[in-house]
Structure formats: structure tokens, C-alpha cells
Amino acid sequence: MPGYLVRITLIMAFVQFINALEYMIFNPLFTWMAPTFQVPVSQAGYVTGVYTLASVIAGVSVWRWVGNVKPRRFLLSNMALLGGLTMMTLTTTRFDVLLFWRFLAGLVGGTTMGVASSLLVNIMPPQLRSRALASTIAAFSLVSIVGMPMMLFLSEQIGWQIAPATIGGLCLITLPLIKLVLPEQPIEASRHAGLRWSSSVLFYASGNALAQFSPMLIIPLLVPLLTVKMGASGDELPWLFFGGGVAGLGATKLTGKLCQHYSGYRISLLASLLFILSLSIAFIFNHGGALFMVLFLAAAYCRLVASSAVAMRFPADSARAGFTLLQNTLMSLSTAAAFLLSSWLLSVDGNGERAMQGILLLCALSALPLPWLLRIQEKRLATRAAG
């Protein structure tokens, strides 16, 4: 990959890292925030939920016209706003005002990566697009490996206020990088072909949501699954998550390269088998948490990259921003549905082993359709290219 494309990819991965960290940190951080806002720690779900709701509203509202704005200018505005809104959480001790700021941050954050990803893919030559996209997805693994542990450590040592302040500062650091390195794309090309709603758009945009749904069923019970079912101690948990994050990062980078040579169907089929194998370990055995985490996160990221690599071949470059934004919106809805379903099943059946095994079975079943969906998508794309 030429040097200037490497620089662009790294900046986009940095933007993705900040955007993901800003979204993910508030749930674990709320342990320290709760006394300040005089609410129980259990209210953390509202902070995450209101952000997710806002990101869905933003995505549904703007996906059709977002292709008619200059992506670099849009990205500059969003990162400046995201940094400012994140730091505004430091100005209040009222919980309702905190939710207001998180809602506004969700409106901004919900559109940022759709535009950023479309800009990255459009800049890249076709043979490098899957590899570049995998690099930005890898930022999620880096959040688990570096971002969240560092923010939580600083919060423990200094106070929770250091996390929003640091993230806001990182948002501001991206502004000169975006301005100096990223090229601007003319909006004239966008006006020739807008993205219109159709069954085909929904068909190709839904692949990532399907890939995301299965692992998100497990996330709410990951800690009790590791400690209660698989016998991991509290001291082992950070290392289990670290090892899983490293495995996810490696799998993401490897899948990006494999997508240049193999079909998304084949990659997703192998990844889905590994994913189900990881669930089988958790279902059958009362130990092996490290192997489970490595296989689970590696396979989950591999499936997501394979799905993304297939879907990005569908839209024209002029309609990519709207398509990617719709993709992200459907992923947010899928994540919310998985969290709600998993939480409901746990509340009905309790936190016992039977409830965990039921969710593991549901997770395995929900992982089966993705390879066949990608196979149909690739056949239709091949037919379109031939015709």
C-alpha cells in the first residue's frame, strides 16, 4: 500500500478508535460517575441506551442526503462537535442533563463513522478496499486492548472526569490530521446518483447487522459466563479480555488480507464454524475461558470483516456515504435488539447456568444464516457485474 494511503488509513482508524471509545467507555466508567450524579450504578444502561437511540435517529434521518455533503468538511465538524459534547459532561452533576449531552453526542457520533468509512473506501483502489476497511474495524479491538483499560486506570487514579476530558482532547487532535491529510471529494459526483430506498439496499445493508447480532447476545452475560460457568477468577478477567482483544485484532487484519483472495462466503463459513466451536466450549465445559475468548472474539471480528467486504461492493461511490450510514444504523438496531433479548431471557430464567446455556444455543443458531446470506449477495453482485 502506498505511503499516502497508509497515512489516510491510520487517521481513519484513529477516528474510529476515538468514536468507539467515546461510545463504549461510559458504561464501565459509570461505576465512578454514579456517586457524582447521585444515582445507582444500574442506571448506566440509560446512558448507553440514550446514545444508541440518538445514533439510530440520526442515521434514519440523514442517510438519504448525507452523500450530498463534502465528507472531509462533515468529518471535521462532527469530530469538533463530538469532542465538545463529550467534555460538556464535565459541566453538570444532574443525571437528566447528562442524558441530554449523551443524546446530542449520539446524534453526532451516529453519523461520523458512516461518512468516514465511505470516504476511506472511495479513496482506496478496489483491490485494497477490504484491507483498509479491516484496519478501521480493528480499532474496536484496540479499544478493548488499550483504550478502555487506560481510561479506567486513569479514572481509578485521578477521577472519572479524566476520561471525557481525554477523549474530548483526542477528538480535537484529529482535526488538523483530517484537514492536512485527507483529500476532499467533490460533491458534484454525489448528485448524479443518490441512494434510494429499495429491497436491494436493505438486503446488502443488513449483512453487518446479522453478523453483529450473534456476538452481542453474549456480551451482557460475558462476565458471569466466564466467572460462574467457566470458573475464571476476578484477577483473570482483565487478561482474558486482553487476550481476546489481541486475537480479535489479529483476526481482523488477517481477514482483510484474505478477502483479497477468497470469497466472503468461504471466509464467513470458516469463521462461523469457529464461532460455534467457541460457544460449544462454553456450553460443554466448566473451564477453558482463555480458549473461548480467543476463538469467540477472533471469529466475531472475522465474520464482520467478511460481511463488510461483500457489502461495500454494492453501492456506487457517490451513494456510499448514505449506504454506510444505513449499515451502521441497522447495526445499532441489531445491537440494541440483542441486548434487550439477552437481558429479557436472563430476567425470565435467572442468571443460572440453564439461562446461559439457552442464550448460547440461541447465539449459535443465529450465527448460521450469515454465510448463506453472503453467498447470495456475492452471486447477485457477480450477475450484476456480468450484465
The pTM of the whole model exceeds 0.85: no
* The pLDDT value given to residue 55: 84
* The pLDDT value given to residue 171: 94
* The pLDDT value given to residue 39: 86
CATH class of 196-387: mainly alpha
In this prediction, residues 299-303 reach a mean pLDDT of 94
In this prediction, residues 282-299 reach a mean pLDDT of 90
pLDDT at 281 over 50: yes
In this prediction, residues 251-258 reach a mean pLDDT of 89
C-alpha cell at 237: 478477567
Asked, colleague to colleague, whether 1-192 and 196-387 share their fold, the answer is yes
* The pLDDT value given to residue 193: 47
pLDDT at 48 over 60: yes
Give the length of the chain: 387
d(CA 281, CA 382): 37
- Domain formed by 1-192, architecture: Up-down Bundle (1.20)
Neighbours of 10 (CB within 10 A): 14
Answer whether 46's CB lies under 8 Å from 54's CB. Answer: no
Residue among 315, 322, 306, 233 nearest 273 (CA): 306
Q: Quick check: helix, strand or coil at residue 191?
A: helix
Neighbours of 70 (CB within 10 A): 16
d(CA 360, CA 282): 8
Q: What is the DSSP letter of 182?
A: S
In this prediction, residues 200-219 reach a mean pLDDT of 90
pLDDT at 192 over 50: no
In this prediction, residues 261-282 reach a mean pLDDT of 94
Q: What is the dihedral of CA 94, 46, 305, 342, to 10 degrees?
A: 160
Q: Look-up: residue for cell 456480551?
A: 219
pLDDT at 61 over 90: no
Domain boundaries, the chain: 1-192, 196-387
Residue 180 burial class via C-beta count within 10 angstroms: exposed 0-12, middle 13-18, buried 19 and up:
exposed
pLDDT at 191 over 70: no
pLDDT at 277 over 80: yes
* The pLDDT value given to residue 187: 52
d(CA 131, CA 93): 44
Answer whether 347's CB lies under 8 Å from 201's CB. Answer: no
C-alpha cell at 374: 453472503
Answer whether 73's CB lies under 8 Å from 127's CB. Answer: no
* The pLDDT value given to residue 3: 81
- Say which range, 122-126, 200-204, 251-255, 302-306, has the weakest mean pLDDT: 122-126
**Alpha helices of the chain — where are they, by DSSP H?**
3-24, 26-37, 44-62, 71-87, 95-123, 129-142, 148-157, 162-181, 199-205, 207-218, 222-224, 237-258, 264-284, 289-311, 320-349, 353-367, 369-386
Q: Look-up: residue for cell 447495526?
A: 331
d(CA 131, CA 135): 6
Answer whether 194's CB lies under 8 Å from 63's CB. Answer: no
pLDDT, tens digit, for every residue of 110-153?
A: 788 777 877 887 788 877 887 887 888 888 778 878 888 888 88
Q: How confident is the model at residue 42 (pLDDT cuts 50, 70, 90)?
A: low
Residue 383 burial class via C-beta count within 10 angstroms: exposed 0-12, middle 13-18, buried 19 and up:
exposed
Q: What is the chain's mean pLDDT, rounded?
A: 85
pLDDT, tens digit, for every residue of 173-189?
A: 999 999 888 887 655 44
